[in-house]
Structure 1
């Protein structure tokens, strides 16, 4: 740029934009002038008394380069089109890099613009957007984009992996102890492995299901079976969101990254360190809400050849916002027998199947039953009789070594939260607790709302409110919604009856 008679005779950059993108144009202009460039931008330079069409003419002819701020509105603007076309016509071969493009909103680059190399800053945090804009300007002015550091060797994996002996755990590892009695779930494990392997380099899968169905145990088993694919496997207890930063700080120490008390700085540091790891797996166990986990997931894709996988276990709905959700159900009859036999090898087939049926093939209940039989030496037939006559008392006896909860307590926290959030939903569960453990038609409630207690009665009269009540029950995995209606696991029903301090009646398929 030169000056004559006190007036500017040229600029380094002319910002071409439409009024809907004025904020972007001013942001770009401010950044360029901070770096010492002289910029012509309508918002600042077309002051009262000036002729704006002449200003456009000056910009396209007297600026060394034009920066077109691309958006859907800009691409339909007559004047925007005239400005970028003038810059293109002055340098059709692009040798002088007179036309630069910055896309700030989702849009296609039509016609001649499709052949102009530009940058995107839509969706980027400000620091990255600033760095990308400055890099574009520097490269355009230099005419070359040689990096300041040598590129990685392109042969083989993008990041070399250290050789490990078969069965050896990754260097960075904090997964809970493996369950020596883990049985079955082959289809679920295969589905998880294939889903993660088939996804993008950064893939998130959630395992969702009823409390006690074995989500955590499935995640633990997956981690142990897939150790050969990862160099970092880190377990995060996610039920208390306030504890997540401390667990990431410990991961940062293991990755030899400087920790920082600021959670945002800590997240960025760990995520950047993971980009240098040949393969990693993060497991967020027992997450309650998507918003509590999402900030801790790396926001940018991993480099080629670097699998970054995330597993989340949860009882709650909504995690499809992060990626695929694997709904975990109770085990098959044969798997239920095998699970109990891992602790009680002499358990007869017929009695084992009857115990599994009484317990609804829920893994936690099966582990409790096997543990109780193992600890007491009671005959399986006697246990089955007690289960049919004094089930509520047995539900608190026998413990899995891998969790503190029992069938008597595993759903207490969910029920407490639901009671606070949606009293009508708890009343809905209470009524269902005394019906058969088969799909319960929802019109039984909406068609007879006058016979229901408040506030469930009012909710049943309003389709939207009733749907909200049902959705809350399903959200906490306390029931499943099927085409036939609402279905509760028989042990959830028993827990609800016990919660009321009443003796639960014998579970009978014909009860209704």
Structure 2
């Protein structure tokens, strides 16, 4: 079995070798190492030979012991022989003790772990596995960098991660900022950027804290804030208490205890002991609304002095006095890059189709990607396909999305927990609005649909629930490109749907949603105009959601409509293949639920047959249309609109197959029945009159054809405006008749 790495080492360095093997396997690599894999009863020489052959790369645990040992040399020599120019980097030298490689090993670049603590050593090892080590953030601009000789040591960044030493930054941040540099707070010495209050805003799990931490660590290392950098938590405890504790522990201040808490906080700011600009990060500002949230922290904020820069992270909108940097989800490319950084590019490569789909399912949400990536790193045998299947089956309850990690910036127990905090603050009417929104597809939602569906509620009140309750908490987004349109993030929709299942009125709401979609579907005619197509285009994903996800909640009499609407929408644009899918699904679902004797089953056959006719599939169309005709005759009788429609459709099917005698019989029957049912001033009668006229033209019976087509044009003009497509069709048909009769002077009619 192929392994990623063979660990080649001398027994004196066994502890180092096993630590390296452990780290590699914990990060999804496969390793063969003598201490673990060469078992009693085996042949050492043969085991080593197999390991050298099967391993893609060889790790050399460099020390004087290794370089001077006799039996380690064949191990690295085997890899060297396969890659003498080091193009494939078959050899990975890792120096664990002072030594100086000689000879053929001298030119090889090694990873130097000598003198490093655990975390930096682990990072150096993992960085060495990458083909390219581009920095995660933009290097400092040389023209504005503070010279090292002039830098002052900033105060400690108190990291939100678990258990880092006070003088040491937390574990290396995830590579999120690559895709998000535009959202970073401005450089404080940049021209035109005044000090003040800035905030990272966005939904839960978007990476607000991670980006703030990256920014703080980066500028701590650059010496941007010589007055120090402080990290304060706003959610778990009173910000004033947090500030006073920070000042006592990290700044060495003696804070008077006879003052109230706001006065103690202002004492800390007035007596800040380090000169120069200071950055204060206040993480996770929260509250029932933006006013309460800001009121809770306002007494403890720094005074309006140029030296204090305040960066807040929050899900709320805190007003115009706080400059906002809205954090969006990752781009697809950045999401894929993040996933690869967690599980290794070698696991992405074999599943290049699945990896983007997995990122898409997670909505490019950093928290979801990190949780799934960490889970997969612990499950080296799992494929991405298996991971996606579990997510689709278990949604937010999937194991990968419910296990937080102590070393993550996010403190949530899982993805659902990231939104639970905001959910608890929602009033019941806002929650009900969330229930309604989550029933829609993952596509823009026209606000007028919500207003129509919620017609008993005052529109202004409904907007307040939307804006203050959901948008303000980053649970809903206004679509900038389409006014009065909103959209849910995929993971938030899944969270809302999970909450909906706990609501006692969920079934009634689902039924109500399907009825609202049925009303839209019923506005799509069999031959829609361009304007009609444009008017319903935005609703198409939501009709599909009703027809699939919520099909079980549709009433029997409405079951057919979403499918018919979708089929006619695509049919009207000539997309017959897509229309076929919906018409076939309609036939199958009506058959399974309502049975063959239901009138809607005959209608589904008729629609499918007509779509086959439009595609030129006349034989299959004939079979379907005959079945529809016979069922309608049997269960509805012959004196109704549906039966007349079947007569007409079967007639035009025969006409296009050249079976003119059969076509004439069916078309005459349809014309007579429609005349009896509706009279001449009806679109169905005109359709039959037109079809019969076209048949006579095809038979060469120009006199009868001209009479009928002129009559169609006359009656159509009385029913429709001069710009209606039916007028154009009538003119075209009559014109073609005159062309065929060689009456060119009459063909140019207007």
Fold equivalence (TM over 0.5): yes
Match of 2:284 among 280, 283, 286: 286
CA contact (8 A) 1:235 1:283 kept: yes
Task: Evaluate the alpha carbon distance shift between residue 468 and residue 172 of structure 1 in structure 2; reply closer, same or farther with a 3 A threshold.
Answer: same
CA contact (8 A) 1:235 1:284 kept: yes
Instruction: Give the aligned length.
Output: 332
**Partner residue, 1:236:** 232
**Partner residue, 1:353:** 356
For 2:437 and 2:180, the matched residues in 1 are separated by 29
The alignment status of 1:425 with 2:430, answered yes or no, reads yes
CA contact (8 A) 1:238 1:285 kept: yes
Larger strand proportion, structure 1 or 2?
Answer: 1
> How is 1:22-37 mapped onto 2 (pairs within 5 angstroms)?
none
**Partner residue, 2:487:** 487
**Partner residue, 2:329:** 330
For 1:381 and 1:372, the matched residues in 2 are separated by 14
For 1:467 and 1:241, the matched residues in 2 are separated by 33
1:502 Cα offset (Å): 6.5
CA contact (8 A) 1:179 1:217 kept: no
**Partner residue, 2:375:** 372
Task: Evaluate the alpha carbon distance shift between residue 430 and residue 357 of structure 1 in structure 2; reply closer, same or farther with a 3 A threshold.
Answer: same
CA contact (8 A) 1:317 1:475 kept: yes
Q: Unmatched 5+ residue regions in structure 2?
A: 1-145, 161-168, 287-292, 511-540, 547-750
1:317 Cα offset (Å): 1.3
> How is 1:108-147 mapped onto 2 (pairs within 5 angstroms)?
none
For 1:180 and 1:481, the matched residues in 2 are separated by 34
CA contact (8 A) 1:371 1:399 kept: no
1:181 Cα offset (Å): 5.2
**Partner residue, 1:343:** 342
1:201 Cα offset (Å): 5.5
CA contact (8 A) 2:200 2:208 kept: yes
For 2:244 and 2:502, the matched residues in 1 are separated by 45
For 2:438 and 2:316, the matched residues in 1 are separated by 21
Q: Unmatched 5+ residue regions in structure 1?
A: 1-160, 451-456
**Partner residue, 1:170:** 154
Higher mean displacement: 219-228 or 289-298: 289-298
Higher mean displacement: 349-358 or 274-283: 274-283
For 2:158 and 2:379, the matched residues in 1 are separated by 34
**Partner residue, 2:206:** 213
**Partner residue, 2:397:** 393
For 2:489 and 2:194, the matched residues in 1 are separated by 37
Match of 2:253 among 252, 257, 279: 257
Task: Evaluate the alpha carbon distance shift between residue 380 and residue 479 of structure 1 in structure 2; reply closer, same or farther with a 3 A threshold.
Answer: same
1:301 Cα offset (Å): 1.9
Residue deviations 1:169-197 (CA, integer Å, cap 9, x gap): 62333133545351143463454343644
For 2:149 and 2:419, the matched residues in 1 are separated by 41
Task: Evaluate the alpha carbon distance shift between residue 411 and residue 354 of structure 1 in structure 2; reply closer, same or farther with a 3 A threshold.
Answer: same
> Relative contact order (C-alpha < 8 Å, sep 6+): which is higher?
1
**Partner residue, 1:266:** 264
For 1:314 and 1:209, the matched residues in 2 are separated by 7
> Which structure's CA Rg is the greater one?
2
Report the RMSD for the aligned CA atoms in angstroms: 2.9
For 1:172 and 1:273, the matched residues in 2 are separated by 17
**Partner residue, 2:116:** none
Q: Report the TM-score, using the length of structure 2 for normalisation.
A: 0.41
Task: Evaluate the alpha carbon distance shift between residue 341 and residue 286 of structure 1 in structure 2; reply closer, same or farther with a 3 A threshold.
Answer: same
For 2:203 and 2:171, the matched residues in 1 are separated by 19
1:396 Cα offset (Å): 3.7
For 1:344 and 1:296, the matched residues in 2 are separated by 42
Task: Evaluate the alpha carbon distance shift between residue 436 and residue 376 of structure 1 in structure 2; reply closer, same or farther with a 3 A threshold.
Answer: same
1:399 Cα offset (Å): 2.9
1:263 Cα offset (Å): 1.6
**Partner residue, 1:92:** none
